[in-house]
Structure 1
């Protein structure tokens, strides 16, 4: 697969640094992280690239496991979803550029990125972006990532194709969503000169301005330590509750009018994301041995789960108990111990014979000093020990 190189001012992160120039500098020093969802998406993109380059269809790779993504073999859903993307791209007339590295550095210092597919045809450049995720619907209109790819295509290939129109297409097959949008060459260049270039230059300043907000802060690596976001979140809460003259409790929530609630509702994502990011950062730092005033680290026991020792034996035993009670046999294979308890009772001796309990690993937990539990002294290079 094309080498994954990410510029500091990347196209994929443009929604962040264009809206909050300070975010580029704030993210420096934070490690790159991934997730199972991101790796699954990368596997889907890898499949798409192979199929386009080798002129194959996805069903030829069913159950194939790529070395780069061993945890995400090609399943039926990936076969069907990526094929929809392939069909769209192949129906476009023109010269196809697959996983094309594009350079938009005339407007963004060291700016480059890799576009999934670009098709050049009779003065029209079509930038197609595959989005394998299904958590958030992505639209083509004013999509800054794809627009920067379009700028890169203009910068590198205009002397050959002389494009006057640029089409941006987002293919999101798992949401059955294809979004298309067009922008004229003149409008694209105006955006590049009047928006992109000035904002990119701002990111290089030591005193680059902050502009916290839901979209730009959501995936920012610095959202757990950003003072601007903290102040923004607290100000949202203050503005929303400024009409309430007394401290609120859960029972007092009815003191908020519908109008006041309506003001708060759109801001909840920003507030909850900030709270989550702050907790995650503090927990991670505590596990490295960092100290937080009025807080301590305790060792929290892992959760206990129950399962059947043997599914077949458990199902036979359950069926016998159900017949005694005149109940229907379970439809699943078998039902869970918790579900069985509701039918045959918690004290049934069947559970002692057929159920095994498993306890997860104990985990560190950062809590207030008033919380229950003995403090644990953490040395990242050694095992934990309780403080005497």
Structure 2
């Protein structure tokens, strides 16, 4: 499960880094005057973005090794590339948001204009009087003009009597109805065209405002719409840059949870110890030929510490009643011990937890207390330098013969 989480984290960080690098490349590409300069600046910007994700590893490695000049240089370089990448991300996010909101605003404006134009055309149709189709009215007018009265009145220009007046009035009514029918046909064609344009937008969503997200947040928070939009642009840029800068470092931390627990391989230790025991016993017999034959010595069963913490406790810590040692001093001595043993020290919180779980820690009745914001261990102390040198000179003998059975110069003289 730990490996699956790590792999998923690395994959997510890779996506964020790819998006951020693409933004940087486009930002640098737009700065060039010629195609060559554009590609050159684009590649440099993408490389700077990749360096942004690697610098955290270099920075903490330099701090761990106490190389402060490299740590300062890494921190300064990280701030520079992060600032450059942030500017490109801000520009890209702002431009993209403005384009999207502008498109939505244009769609909403066009849609509202079409709706208003359709309503005006439909209202105009409603105001027109009742009429027959234009073709029918034209046919009736054509028949009326074939009558004798049309020629008698010279096209209704001369009206000598009542009969001719009624005839001309009927002809004028037909002509007015024809004009209404023709205009209604034009308006109906326009209404059909507007409806067709509206039907083409039926598959898309037309919003009432250009930026609904910013509008909702502005109404909820009571802030200005422009301020909210600026905050949203900044949020996108920060998400991409911080995620791509620290994503790999955070995702790979799951593989450092148990550093130091499996570095010791005790499988071949008993065999080497037995061989060394026989060699040392033979050397002692040759150096003391006058002494009686040594009695068989029962070789104590050696137990190799399971973890580095147990080894450190046995080699660098001793029981001392009434003495206190701070957790910081204990951890610094542990780091020094790891450097001497060429091992990778674990983090301070994990060291404190593992140290408190030791069996020898509980057997020696060590008390852990916290006062003044500092953690102290009562009942133990760190071994002095002289004691460490003496134990290092006898470390082979300690692993071969127990201290109670070892022959010292004083016992030999006795």
TM-score (norm 2): 0.19
TM-score (norm 1): 0.20
Structure holding more helix per residue = 2
> Relative contact order (C-alpha < 8 Å, sep 6+): which is higher?
2
Is the radius of gyration larger for structure 1 or structure 2? Answer: 2
